[in-house]
Amino acid sequence: MNDRTWVTERDRYDRMLSPFSDALLRAADLQPGERVLDVGCGTGSTTLQAAQAVSPNGSMIGIDTNPDITAIAAQRARHAEAVTIVTGDAATYQPPQPVDVIIARFATMLFTNPVEAHRNLAAALRPGGRFVAVVWQAPARNLWHQLPMQAVHAHLQLDRPQASEAPGPFALADPTRINALLRDAGFAVARIDPIEARSWLARDVDDAVDFFNDASGDDLHKIAPPTTIDAIRDTLRASLRPYRTDTGIELPSAAWLIEATIKRRDARKTLP
């Protein structure tokens, strides 16, 4: 998914990810008066939901790297009290004062250096503070990714990507790796639980195909002629039909819900 679609399709993404946003916020159990950092806040939906939970007297910081995305988040938060939107890198950013809770919806998989980045998050928490995140499980468990990839590979001879720890949507699909990197970063891992949901994707099959075509940007069109693109779209269209419901296309999706706390009171000293 390219950054442009996070702006143009923000309402679709909010609806698609809502089961995971709800699970994240339930686990975070935010309380009035708490200070919260939302890592990878996107266009601000989780930030605004969390802000309601910590009101009154709480505060929210939402951070994302893309200025076009944070501009929308700031616009959406313009009437919310004690909400700050920051354009920056959560892997290095430190809030003005330690926060009680850090939440992250599908953001921490993108860290270039995940151990150092999570150490920085640990340093942002007060002693006893909580870290709650959701990350995607393996691609095969997430048909929003799997079905388009299968359609492409049915018509193009491309190298199939192997499991990788490189930054990307599925970099933290292995819970063993999650546990190890969090402990290396100074966290005590409370639990890593599976979440499964049927995520609404589109009004109908054609809407879904158009969305996937747009989300691929120009990458696919650079390597495939129009006839091949049409064939890919037809294959994808056929694979989506079994997932039609009364409300639209709903695809099985799966994530890990991570809950952790600081392992040591001197977490700030773990930074190099």
Residue 192 has a pLDDT of 97
Give pLDDT tens digits along the chain (272 positions). 667 888 999 999 999 999 999 999 999 999 999 999 999 999 999 999 999 999 999 999 999 999 999 999 999 999 998 999 999 999 999 999 999 999 999 999 999 999 999 999 999 999 999 999 999 999 999 999 999 999 999 999 877 666 667 899 999 999 999 999 999 999 998 899 999 999 999 999 999 999 999 988 778 888 889 999 999 999 999 999 999 999 999 999 999 999 999 875 544 443 33
Q: Does residue 150 sit within a domain?
A: no
Residue 271 has a pLDDT of 38
CA atoms within 13 A on the CB side of 114: 20
Residue 85 bridge partners (DSSP) = 62
pTM over 0.85: yes
Q: Does residue 218 sit within a domain?
A: no
Q: Whose CA is closest to 102, among 269, 272, 267, 255?
A: 267
Q: Which domain holds residue 170?
A: 3-139+162-200+251-264
- The answer to whether residues 16 and 42 touch, using CB atoms and an 8 Å cutoff, is no
Residue 162 has a pLDDT of 61
Q: Does residue 130 sit within a domain?
A: yes
Q: Does residue 104 sit within a domain?
A: yes
For residue 86, what are its two tokens?
Answer: 């920051």
For residue 136, what are its two tokens?
Answer: 């995607």
Q: Does residue 242 sit within a domain?
A: no
Residue 158 has a pLDDT of 78
Q: Does residue 196 sit within a domain?
A: yes
**Which residues are CB-contacts of 32 (< 8 A; sequence separation ≥ 6)?**
53, 54, 55, 56, 57, 58
Q: How many domains does the chain have?
A: 1
Q: Does residue 173 sit within a domain?
A: yes
Q: Whose CA is closest to 110, among 165, 163, 28, 157?
A: 165
Q: Does residue 219 sit within a domain?
A: no
Q: Output the domain CATH number for residue 69.
A: 3.40.50.150
